[in-house]
Structure 1
């Protein structure tokens, strides 16, 4: 029996196709550890054929998020954080856009916290415009190279610069857009070749990176925006009437022509919401599960992160910030493990 087992093991280890099918089913921590088994395993697990398949199978699996310099896992009790450097500006499908340096001299770079692969971004051409937004665009099914989108303001218009790791250069878009005075550009969200911004004046602004075209869409209602983001290829907007603890989660139609109501959430019943107002919490993230019943909303309530299942209407405390009992978190960046190396900028 032992000889048979040894022969079976030897057959598996010598058959790259069979070995690949087995390794594709392992968590990313095991993959990284198994790279040290042998030079051949290191080559196999680093080869684009393997990393591309692994990432495509796992690209929608969100494991946690970064709240500042704190990593918060959604489910696991293991709070050991995937490393990151500097200050996180944006996240997109497993990559982080970070910066270091002082307020007047930021150095930007794209970083994969899973593999610790890093690529520096060359500075955008100098101008006198006021910086407004810097975001990241990356998805393996769209293009292998990442892109960085920068929005700056000059009187009466906004300019869009796009950096591509394929060319190693910044390009000024032919499109400019004008919006009302005092309008603020909120967090940018990348999906299907398009960067979307939720503006403060009741409109969603979308920019198609490839064809350099802008599109504007009204919000479904005139309520305060509590969250804007993407999960599993769906764009979500969460709004709430002022002075109420009632949330409505909208999802955009496939053709981006309008919205429909996905969930209604009444927060009065949560123990941590007793005697609280709408100003005492924030919606941090909405994460779609592989199954609809696994979809949840992450809430920041006075120093705590509450995971609220939108299907079962159940909740779970997953993190408390030490010494921050009154703090309401507003900014976070989702972590999704990917193995692909990111191309270095052509400096």
Structure 2
């Protein structure tokens, strides 16, 4: 593993000024009324804090400004870098969407493309800068597979004589290296399962097989001719505790391939959106899989709709664009999928999009309605979703739509991402965290 250390200029800052560095809120000041106590900073240092006030205040600050606060003094650098502090910060500070990682689609071959871009949510001087060297600190060119709570899983570009997996934190430029599972392929989907415990994570590989070519499991002719078709998925798991891959006994009958943002991990369950109005769910702890239906099937529309899935407030969300407009649904329960219930949370018509920006969204309804077969490129398509914000492609432009405000902001031109493939891009929402992979 390679670690990059940031330089620190030690100078001290008065405690009252500290309150100007963080948002004004009464709960930030609550700790000042508590009784002072001694805190030991783990095994990394024998230094003691005479008060937990600074510790408590800093633990409520988002990750990005904390990175700069390390330069205030050696003491602050020690506090912010400590495992106990990072864990406390993850529990107290809200993890918010910072941007979208856009991975260019695969070639029609056994070769990966190398184009990876990062589109930030916030703008600088009303201009949004697209970054394309976010993963340049890794030892080789990679393909992004998953993003979960600030940690990103990447794989060596194929073909490769010795493909590796990399788990990294782009904010602090730390990474660890793992061996790829057996028979690594460009079409494999690997989801990252991470719950803020730096030394504990899991990977779930979803692999598609044809039943006729998988005689060890599927030898029953009657079953191979089932309604779901002749394909099924298997699940393989990697644990940071055992450091080994193993195959789960669970399988999923589904003839439809995966689309859009691959595995989305929420509350112990990984979700994959398929082309056939179904979502594959896999409970990681129980190792149980279930297919659930999307809120509205494609057959209900005159044109071919586009959709993606994502997370908001700890719930699975389904974003769909059709000739009727943009719908956002959420799954009411993540525990009992046998009685799942979709609830419509947000809607915006295509006419409203046109009225908001008639120059960019001209004849939007007519153009969306014109797509009547799946083989044609969609005029408007949601690519990724998290925290109420969706990255949407309209023609050759990308936009960020904020569900809370109902406003659409231009992100960039699709050509700025320097695409090399005609296949759809895979989009991963990404947040910032100070989690270190040093102990993983």
TMscore range, shorter length: 0.7 to 0.9
Say yes or no: does 1:287 pair with 2:342.
no
Match of 1:291 in 2: none
Say yes or no: does 1:296 pair with 2:371.
no
Say yes or no: does 1:137 pair with 2:236.
no
User: Which of residues 258, 267, 270 in structure 2 aligns to 1:185?
Assistant: 258
Match of 2:316 in 1: 235
Quote the offset at 1:343 in angstroms: 4.9
- Normalising to structure 2: TM-score of the pair? 0.66
Distance 1:300 1:169 in 2: 39
Say yes or no: does 1:212 pair with 2:259.
no
Cα offsets for 1:70-113 (capped at 9, x unmatched):
32221241748593242211111111111224335432111111
Greater fraction strand: 1
Match of 1:165 in 2: 240
Distance 1:309 1:80 in 2: 19
Distance 2:349 2:15 in 1: 59
Distance 2:157 2:424 in 1: 24
Q: Give the number of the structure whose alpha-carbon radius of gyration is greater.
A: 2
Match of 2:345 in 1: 262
Over the aligned positions, Cα root-mean-square deviation in angstroms equals 3.3
Match of 2:84 in 1: 49
Match of 1:33 in 2: 68
Q: Residue 200 of structure 1 aligns to a residue in which SS?
A: coil
List alignment gaps of at least 5 residues for structure 2. 1-12, 18-35, 37-47, 104-115, 212-231, 299-304, 369-377
Quote the offset at 1:27 in angstroms: 4.2
Going from structure 1 to structure 2, the CA distance change for 1:213 and 1:328 (only over 3 Å counts) comes to: closer
Going from structure 1 to structure 2, the CA distance change for 1:170 and 1:34 (only over 3 Å counts) comes to: same
Quote the offset at 1:125 in angstroms: 3.5
Which piece of structure 1 moves more, 217-226 or 200-209?
217-226
What is the aligned residue count?
328
Distance 1:6 1:153 in 2: 59
Given that 1:64 and 1:336 are in contact with CA atoms closer than 8 Å, whether structure 2 keeps it comes out as yes
Say yes or no: does 1:96 pair with 2:140.
no
Given that 2:206 and 2:234 are in contact with CA atoms closer than 8 Å, whether structure 1 keeps it comes out as yes
Cα offsets for 1:238-287 (capped at 9, x unmatched):
2244xx25222211112441212111221233322212422212212333
Given that 1:303 and 1:324 are in contact with CA atoms closer than 8 Å, whether structure 2 keeps it comes out as no
Given that 2:117 and 2:417 are in contact with CA atoms closer than 8 Å, whether structure 1 keeps it comes out as no
Q: Residue 435 of structure 2 aligns to a residue in which SS?
A: coil
Given that 2:62 and 2:94 are in contact with CA atoms closer than 8 Å, whether structure 1 keeps it comes out as no
Quote the offset at 1:66 in angstroms: 1.9
Going from structure 1 to structure 2, the CA distance change for 1:304 and 1:8 (only over 3 Å counts) comes to: closer
Which piece of structure 1 moves more, 156-165 or 253-262?
253-262
- Normalising to structure 1: TM-score of the pair? 0.82
Q: Residue 281 of structure 2 aligns to a residue in which SS?
A: strand
Aligned pairs for 1:79-90 (under 5 A) are: 79=129, 83-84=134-135, 85=138, 86-90=142-146
Say yes or no: does 1:146 pair with 2:204.
no
